[in-house]
Structure formats: C-alpha cells, structure tokens
Amino acid sequence: MDATLHKQSFWSKYIFSTDHKVIGMQYAIMGIIMAGVGGFLAYVFRYNLAYPNASIPLFGHLSATQYNAFVTCHGMIMVFWVGMPVLLSALGNLLIPLMIGTDDMAFPTVNMLSFWIFFLSAVVLLASFFVPGGAFGGGWTMYPPFSAGGYVNHNPHFFTALFSGVSLMILAVALELVAMLMGGINFVVTTINKRTKGMTAFRVPIVVWFINIASVIFMFSVGPLVAGAFMLLFDNILGTGFYDPARGGDPMLWEHLFWFFGHPEVYVLLLPALGVLAEILPVFARKPLFGYKPIIYMALVSAVLSVLVWAHHQFVAGIDPRMATFFSIGTILISIPFAGIFLSFMATLWKGSIKFSVPMMWVLGFIGLFLIGGLTGLFLGSNTFDIYAHDTYFVVAHFHYTLFPDIFFGFFAAIYYWFPKFTGKSLNAGLGKLHFWLTFFAFNVTWFVLFFNGLAGQHRRINDYSDFSLIMREPYITFEKIATISAIILILSQFIFLYNLFTSLAKAKKGVKNPWESNTLEWVADSPPPHGNFQTYPVVYHGPYEYSLPGEGADFLPQNVQGKNDTNNVTQNNYEHKTATSFATHK
C-alpha cells in the first residue's frame, strides 16, 4: 500500500472520497434512505386507500392535496432517487473498475462531484415538502397544465414561484440527471480506456456491458428532457407559456419530450439489474452463461428500439392513429430481444447444478415476477387494450411487477452476492431467506389483487372511492384492504434486511476472497479491496463464465488463471513485449 493513503483524514476517506468503492457505497446508502422515504409515502397513501379518512398510524389525517403530493413523490423518488442511484450509480461504481481490473474511474473528481450533486438533488426534493403549498402533486410525469403554473400553483412572483413545490421538483430532477450524466460518462470512458491487459471487449462481464449500454441510452435520451424541463421551469418562474394552449403553447410537447426520455429510462433501470442476473446465474448453476455474445447483441438492439417507442404513453392523450400503430408495433417488437435475454438465462439454468443460495433466490424471484410484468406489458402495448386499461390499477400493477423486481430484487441479489467482497464479512443466510420469502409473498399479494381492481375500472389518481359504486363493492373493497395490509407486511419485512445488515457489519472481518467460487476479477482482489484495488494488476486469459469446463481441475476458472485452452491467447498479442518492458520500468 502507498504510504500516503494511510494519512487520509476521515473527511477525505469517507465523505469527499474519490475512491470508486466509497462513492458506490454512498450512492447505495442514499438509495436505501430514499427507499425508506418512498416506502413511507406508499404506506401512508395505501392506508388511506383502504381506510378513507381514517387517522393513519405514525402520520395522522391525509388530505386530498397531500395524497396527490405523496403519490407523485413516491413515483419520483423510487425511479430517480432509488432505482437510478442503486442500479446505475452504486453498481457501476462498485463493480466496473474491479471487474475490468483497474484501480479507479477515469475521472475520480468528477465521480465525487457526481455523488454530491446527487445528494443536493435529494435535499432539494425533500425540501419541497416544506414550502408553502407543499410538494408537487400533479403526477410523477409532471404533465402541464398542472405543472406549468396557473392551475395548482399560481404564483405571480419570481421567488415565490421558484420556491414552489413544482419548481423545486424540476430543479431536483435536473440536478439528479446531471449527477447521473457525470457518472455515466465516467463509466463509459473507464470501460473503454482502462481495461486490464487481456480484457478484450468480449471478455468483459455482462453487468459491465449492460451498465455501459444503459449509460449510453441515458445520455442519448436525457437531452430533450432537460430541454423540456428548462421550458417547464421557465413557464413557472418567467411566465413563458410554452405549454399553455391559451397563449399558443402546446401541452403535448412536454409529453413527447418527457417520454422520449421516460421510456428509455425503463431500460436504463432494467439493464443493470439484468446484468446482475447474468453474473449470479452461472455462479450458482455452475454452468457457462448461455449465449454471451447474443445477449450483448440483443441488448444493443433493444437500446436502439428503446428510443423509438415513447409515444405508447400517449395513446389516450391523442396522437395520429397511424402513428399509434407504428408505436404499438415498436413496443411489441422490443419485447423480442428481452424475451431472448430471459430465454438465455433460462437456458443457463438448464441441467445446471443449481445452488439455492440467497442471491440465487432473489435472481429466480426476479425472473418469476418479471415474467408477469412482461406479459401484462404485452397487453398494454396494443393500443386497443391500452385505451381501455389506461390510468387504471392494471397499468399500476403492471409497472410495479416490472420495476419492483427490477429495482429491489436486482439490488438485493447484488447486495447478498457482493456484500462479502466489499466488507470482508458475510450476511446471515437464514435471515436472508426469511427476508426473501416475506418480500416475495407480500409483493405478490399486494399487486396481484390490484390487477382485478384495475380491470374493474379503478382509476389510479383518486384518493377516496367512497362515491364510486362500481369499485365500492365486493370483492374490490376487500382487495383494497388485502393490498394495503400486505404492503405494510412488505415494508416491515425490510427491517429484517436492515437488522441483518447491521448485525453482520458488527461482526469481525473474515476477508474471504472468493466465497462463491466465481470467475470475475473483483474476486481476485482482497475483501474488502484496498484503495487502488489490486496489489498487482491481473492479466485476463478468457471470458468471465468458464464454469465446469471438462479437463480443468476445479469447476471454475477465474479470468486471471490460464486454462488449458488459453495457452496462446495472450502471448499472441503484439503488445505483449511492449507492456512487459513498461512493467519492468515501473518497478
């Protein structure tokens, strides 16, 4: 270890650190805290849905305005302050440098700034709850005219308008997007330029590929949203009227700019989690990943398609029917590459010697739940059915069946799998399994019943159904209550995880390097990896999923270990001689 590293103060080591692992943990911790906020909001408004006008334990009475704000912020927080930081930023930061065998990101200072801008964005969003009028309540999609002044927050003065719920939410989202952009550029440049010797493009683990593809999709689609967000902010604080039809503006413009980003965003969230699955499945099936290259190609195809389908969110808002057909076909087409990726995952399991470890359970749970989410998505992709189901609980249940496994099952799989690497300690497996089963059942009960409420016509933006006779009858009233009680169980089960996390962190370090007997490079480093990651940089001889190869001693072959068939791979490279001499000079 470099002697100067021991002199780091607490502040430069844990707070304003430029170490990718510390920044990754900071993102993960912020994500967990924000998930707590988002979960609490969900608890409050779900309670209100089942028991209208009741006094809610730990909260009190929920007004209709507050209900709207809570639903809006729940969606915002779970997508932008939980999904993005934990799946893209935390995983990207923790994994990329270790998995490609390097010491840190390409731009460590930009990386640190990225986290602190993200932190600031979370503060701005939470502050919006405390301004006059409260947080914005016009839905997480922020459609004008609700979000463009006039209707909900009419503030004639510049500063009153600036410190209103809607303006602060726009600012918070803009800051968050800047933070993610800084992170994304770091990921891509690091992966392009800092791979260790022998780590050719098609030896890079899938999760690194997928985080990079997600970053590129994000960079491509975020610009128009930021442009739209500026115009929305100016409508609020400068009175521009871009989205106000009375003054020649066009509210549909926002919908296009928003969903041009909003739909690809789904894949920005999905791809890193699928990458986690691709890392964990071969390890616990003790088999090579089925179709490594096709999986990458299918992800690239889906990335291209992802920016061509956005208007399927606007079938009801009104678009040309010929265009609606185009977007319907695109939407159904994009399910083909994802079906391909899932089939590759299934094929990886086929005839494997499956170990039902805790991370593997989250992975299998993910696949099961996502199947339901994906199938209901096919229904909605058809604009004829979508017009019927629009804005009902059917849609809400559908996207919770995709986003919940994606964000939470993906993240928990990652935590249970990589926790030993980044702490040198291990989580309790029994508590992990209890956590999994409770989460899995409670989630299913909560959302499965709501498909039926949605098909019966229950609309998603109403806080009190007392006057709606079609919904206020059996079995739908009971379904509402079942969903709420089950959601509370779902939230309470997460305390098992927190308990497990804290008690495991309090244990002594064991520092086991490779507890799961995996192949990728992060398992070559110490547990936890020191600042700079590797004592000597590993050299890579083959792809990341070489399990149960015939003729090898063990049933796994780490990427830095030369296998029987790898003899010529590295020595044939023409830069071998050059790097060998530069290696000597650095000594």
* Residues forming the site for Cu ion (CB under 5 A): 263
Nearest to 147 by CA among 75, 229, 43: 229
The span of 69-77, 243-251, 387-395, 482-490 binding other proteins (CB under 8 A) equals 243-251
122 is a site residue for other proteins (CB under 8 A): no
Query: Any alpha helices (H) in 307-392, and if so which ranges?
Result: 321-333, 335-349, 358-381, 383-389
Instruction: Give the range of 127-135, 246-254, 314-322, 554-562 binding other proteins by CB under 8 A.
Output: 246-254
In degrees rounded to 5, what are phi and psi of residue 547?
-110, 145
Span from 26-34, 216-224, 378-386, 481-489 in contact with other proteins (CB under 8 A): 216-224
Residue 227 binding: pick among other proteins, Cu ion, none (C-beta 5-8 Å cut-off by kind): other proteins
Query: Cβ contacts of residue 268 below 8 Å, gap of 6+?
Result: 84, 88, 214, 215, 217, 218
Stretch that binds other proteins, among 99-107, 135-143, 351-359, 541-549 (CB under 8 A): 99-107
Using DSSP's 3-state secondary structure scheme, residue 237 falls into helix
Task: Give me the DSSP letters along 135-188.
Answer: S--STTTT-TTTTSSSSS----SHHHHHTSHHHHHHHHHHHHHHHHHHHHHHHH
Cα 277 from chain centroid (whole Å): 13
Work out whether the CA dihedral 289, 294, 297, 301 comes out positive or negative: negative
Q: Judged by CB under 8 A, does residue 323 bind other proteins?
A: no
Q: How far is the CB of 45 from Cu ion (least distance, A)?
A: 24
User: Which of the listed partners (other proteins, Cu ion, none) does 263 bind, with a CB threshold of 5 to 8 Å by partner kind?
Assistant: Cu ion
Toward other proteins, which CB reaches closer, 122 or 199?
A: 199
Strands (DSSP E) found in 227-313: none
The span from the CA of 316 to the CA of 253, in Å, is 15
Question: What is the 8-class DSSP label of residue 465?
Answer: -
Nearer to Cu ion, 91 or 269 (CB): 269
Spatial neighbors of 433 by CB under 8 A, at least 6 apart, are 358, 361
Q: Contact between 374 and other proteins (CB under 8 A)? A: no
**Joined tokens for residue 85:** 């930081």
| Shorter beta-carbon distance to Cu ion: residue 263 or 425 | 263
Residue 188's CB is within 10 A of a number of other CB atoms, namely: 19
- The span from the CA of 583 to the CA of 241, in Å, is 62
- What minimum distance in Å lies between the beta carbon of 138 and other proteins? 20
Q: Which is nearer to other proteins, 196 or 486 (CB)?
A: 196
Measured torsion, CA atoms of residues 426, 429, 432, 436, in degrees rounded to the nearest 10: 140
**What does the per-residue mask of binding to other proteins show for 49-88, with x meaning CB under 8 A?**
----------------------------------------
Give yes or no for a contact between 64 and 152, defined as CB atoms under 8 angstroms apart: no
CB of 330 to other proteins, least distance (A): 19
Interacting span for other proteins (CB under 8 A) from 236-244, 327-335, 394-402, 543-551: 236-244
Shortest distance, position 24 Cβ to other proteins, whole Å = 19
Residue nearer to other proteins on the CB measure, 9 or 574 = 574
Select the binding partner of residue 17 from Cu ion, other proteins, none (C-beta < 5 to 8 A, by kind): none
Distance between alpha carbon 337 and the CA centroid of its chain, in Å?
A: 19
Measured CA to CA in angstroms, residue 284 lies from 342, 422, 517 at distances of: 17, 20, 9
The least CB distance from residue 419 to Cu ion, in Å, is 33
Pick from 227, 375, 462, 505 the residue near other proteins by CB under 8 A: 227
Which CB atom, from 213 or from 449, has the smaller least distance to Cu ion? 213
Based on the shown chain and the rule CB under 8 A, indicate whether residue 157 belongs to the binding site for other proteins.
no
In the shown chain, the binding pattern of residues 535 to 574 toward other proteins, with x for contact by CB under 8 A and - for none, equals: xxx-x-----------------------------------
Smaller CB separation from Cu ion, 263 or 421: 263
Instruction: Name the minimum Å distance from CB 194 to other proteins.
Output: 6
Q: Site for other proteins (CB under 8 A): which residue of 74, 195, 263, 435?
A: 195
429-431-435 Cα angle (round to 5): 115
Whether residue 100 contacts residue 112, with contact meaning beta carbons closer than 8 Å, is answered with no
Neighbouring C-alpha atoms within 13 Å toward the C-beta of 399:
19
Query: What is the C-alpha separation between 418 and 208, in angstroms, rounded?
Result: 15
Where does this chain touch other proteins (CB under 8 A) — which range of 39-47, 75-83, 116-124, 228-236? 228-236
* Residue (315 or 443) nearer to Cu ion, CB: 315
C-beta separation of 288 from 547 below 8 A: yes
Using DSSP's 3-state secondary structure scheme, residue 316 falls into coil
Question: Quick check: 582 binds other proteins (CB under 8 A)?
Answer: yes
Residue 325 contact among Cu ion, other proteins, none, beta carbon within 5 to 8 Å by kind? none
* 247 binding other proteins? (CB under 8 A): yes
Interaction partner, residue 535 (other proteins, Cu ion, none; CB < 5-8 Å by kind): other proteins
| Residue 390 binds other proteins, judged by CB under 8 A | no
Q: What are 432-436's contacts with CB under 8 Å, separation 24+?
A: 432/358, 432/361, 432/500, 433/358, 433/361, 434/496, 435/493, 435/494, 435/496, 435/497, 435/500, 436/358, 436/361, 436/362, 436/365, 436/412
Q: Which stretch binds other proteins (CB under 8 A): 27-35, 125-133, 215-223, 275-283?
A: 215-223
Q: Kindly tell me which residue out of 53, 109, 193, 567 binds other proteins, with binding defined by CB under 8 A.
A: 193
Stretch that binds other proteins, among 114-122, 217-225, 366-374, 448-456 (CB under 8 A): 217-225
* Residue from the set 71, 79, 257, 557 that interacts with other proteins by CB under 8 A: 257
Per CB under 8 A, residues contacting other proteins are 1-3, 101-103, 106-107, 181, 184-186, 188-189, 192-200, 216, 219-228, 230-231, 234, 238-242, 247-250, 253, 257, 260, 532, 534-537, 539, 575, 579, 582-583, 586-587
